[in-house]
Amino acid sequence: MTVPFLDLKAQYLSIKSEIDDAIQRVLDQTAFAGGPFVAQFEKEFAEFCQVEHCVGVGSGTDALWLALLALGVGPGDEVITVPDTFIATAEAISYCGATPVFVDVDEKTYNMDPAKLEHYLAACAAVPEPRRLPRAIIPVHLFGQTADMDPILEIAKKYGLSVVEDACQAHGALYKGKPAGSIGVAGCFSFYPGKNLGAYGEAGAITTNDGELAARMKMIRDHGQEKKYYHGCIGWNARMDGFQGAVLSVKLKYLPAWNDARRKNAELYSKLLRGLEGVITPTEMDYAKHVYHIYAIRTKNRDALIAQLAEKGVNCGIHYPVPVHLQNAYAPLGLKPGSFPVAEKVASEFVSLPMYPELTDKHIETVVMEINKIKKH
């Protein structure tokens, strides 16, 4: 049996008539750039995330970048994040002219370790002027589980920093009952096609309860326009297009059920993998409702495992093989192997197993059977 890593076609076929109708409505109204379909999705997604405002943008990278720009992050500033994330988290900081700085992660959650965050900021505060404290913190809700936000927010308040959630993998995840994207000053989402809530192209959004911040982000995403051809600031073209707004509105109402299916699949994976020597399964924390954008196990010799699984028709991935601080793009930061030992260790062991709502029990049983054969060989 072949088990794909992702099956977007199966999801499309399950809602084909609604998607086709939504796309046709955009064509009929020629509402291609922004417009009513984007506005409707913004309203619906704000309600879903239990916030006052949602700003639709062109991608998750745009979302992170615009949130930081609207907060005034710029040259000379530092923004704290984690090394085990997609590079877009750091790129957004860099494109503000700021410098990304990293703190290590917790080995159980793979998310920002609040104790290491406190340690770094205490060290910064102990340095005499003119050393400035960082401007913001971006905790990443990796794989669909929220970071431990209460201590992060407490630390941020202590040192006067803004907290921007990277919720690009956490659509519908909860932290102590609060939706991802509703906890920091802003939450940033990607709707890349493979996400739990995926567009049919590139799209993203920023959620916030701060009306002034939302207004600034709306200006920046549209060339700084206050009204057409009147530009209050230097902005960018980061608009969501009408097709994506229409598609996302259709798909949003299915997201809770799709997330429940992912959680059911994760539960079966963990049950079947329990006790298998040399395999570490994900840990769901008591404070979190994990939505399993990625179901990542950890194991030694993972490249060999992935290759052998591929030979058996089981397609896996790695999220992510090289932490950001060790990427060539960030070599100028001068960070070497060993700088963030936990992030480096887990990055060398991650294997992302097939995970999507349409995955069947038979698919999962096949994946686990093949892992068992390889591990026991």
Which three-class secondary structure state does DSSP give residue 121? helix
Instruction: Give how far the C-alpha of residue 251 lies from the chain's centroid of Cα atoms, to the nearest Å.
Output: 18
Q: What is the mean pLDDT of the chain?
A: 97
Residue pLDDT, tens place only, 259-311: 999 999 999 999 999 999 999 999 999 999 999 999 999 999 999 999 999 99
Q: What pTM does this model have?
A: 0.97
In total, how many domains does the chain have? 2
Confidence of residue 129 (pLDDT cuts 50, 70, 90): confident
Least confident of 94-98, 223-227, 240-244, 333-337: 223-227
Residue 2 in any domain: the answer is no
Q: Closest Cα to residue 168, out of 148, 149, 147, 141?
A: 141
265 & 248 share domain:
no
pLDDT at 292: 98
CA distances from 131 to 77, 121, 127, 220, 368 (A): 11, 12, 6, 30, 52
Q: Domain check: are 237 and 274 in the same one?
A: no
| Number of neighbours of residue 55 by Cβ within 10 angstroms | 30
Give the separation between CA 254 and CA 172, rounded to whole angstroms.
11
Task: Supply the DSSP symbol for 128.
Answer: P
Choose one of 210, 233, 252: the last residue of a domain: 252
Domain final residue, candidates 228, 252, 276: 252
Q: Are 240 and 56 in contact (CB under 8 A)?
A: yes
Q: Given this model, what pLDDT does residue 341 score?
A: 98
pLDDT digits (tens, 9 = 90+) for 177-226: 999 999 999 999 999 999 999 999 999 999 999 999 999 999 999 999 98
In a domain, 367, yes or no: yes
pLDDT per position as a tens digit, 33-85? 999 999 999 999 999 999 999 999 999 999 999 999 999 999 999 999 999 99
Residue 299 CA neighbour count, 13 Å, CB half: 22
As a whole number of angstroms, the distance between CA 306 and CA 302 comes to 6
CA 158 → CA 122, 214, 368, distances in Å? 10, 25, 46
Which pLDDT tens digit goes with each residue over 327-377?
A: 999 999 999 999 999 999 999 999 999 999 999 999 999 999 999 999 887
167 & 95 share domain: yes
The CATH number of the domain holding residue 287 is 3.90.1150.10
Same domain, 23 and 134: yes
283 and 187 share a domain?
no
pLDDT tens sequence across 12-35: 999 999 999 999 999 999 999 999
Q: What is the predicted pLDDT for the residue at 130?
A: 67
Q: Rounded to an integer, what distance in angstroms lies between the CA atom of residue 266 and that of residue 100?
A: 33
Residue 3 domain-assigned (yes or no): no
- Do 231 and 262 sit in the same domain of this protein? no
* Full residue range of the structural domain in which residue 176 is found: 8-252
